[in-house]
Amino acid sequence: MWRTAASMGIALAALAWPALAIILVFMVVPALWEVLFGPANAAYAAIGALGLVVWGSVKMAGLADRLSGMGEGRRATAPAVVEPEPHANWPEYNAAIARNKRWAFYRRTRQFERLKELHEQTEHARSARCASQGR
């Protein structure tokens, strides 16, 4: 919970900081740039400060992404490949898929009588399977 709140706060700061810094760098502090760097280099100093502001904003957004767990973009290793669980009884598995598709079709086309028949067949198949396995 605190990581999410911190991530949201840092992301908000990363978005708000450049807006405030642009106002500060170009409207409030031009006299400071002239005093520190001279009239000829004041504009370059302001552009350099703007570059630092953008760089800081990108770094803050990256920190917010890492805090929320979304920063695994370019530096992350490839995700582990999850192998599907092999089915021991393929005919039964295929029959279940076909039964599910039939159920969806009957339900979508409102064929309730056939849905009832399909349900009875499914229950009969389950009881036969349990009896054959000794359950």
Whether residues 52 and 95 fall in one domain = no
Whether residues 94 and 63 fall in one domain = no
Domains: count for the chain: 2
Q: What is the pLDDT of residue 113?
A: 92
Torsions phi, psi for 42 (to 5 deg)? -65, -40
Q: What is the SS3 assignment for 77?
A: coil
Of all residues in the chain, the percent with pLDDT exceeding 90 is 14
Residue 59 lies inside a defined structural domain of this protein: yes
Residue 39 lies inside a defined structural domain of this protein: yes
The stretch 15-31 carries a mean pLDDT of 80
DSSP secondary-structure letter at 1? -
Residue 100 has pLDDT above 80, yes or no: yes
The stretch 6-22 carries a mean pLDDT of 81
Look at residues 36, 68, 100 and tell me which one is the last residue of a structural domain. 68
**In the predicted model, what is the mean pLDDT of the chain?**
81
Between these two residues, 129 and 54, which has the higher pLDDT value? Answer: 54
Spatial CB neighbours of 49, under 8 Å, sequence gap ≥ 6? 21, 25, 33
Between these two residues, 135 and 98, which has the higher pLDDT value? Answer: 98
Q: What is the pLDDT of residue 109?
A: 92
Residue 111's domain spans which residues? 90-133
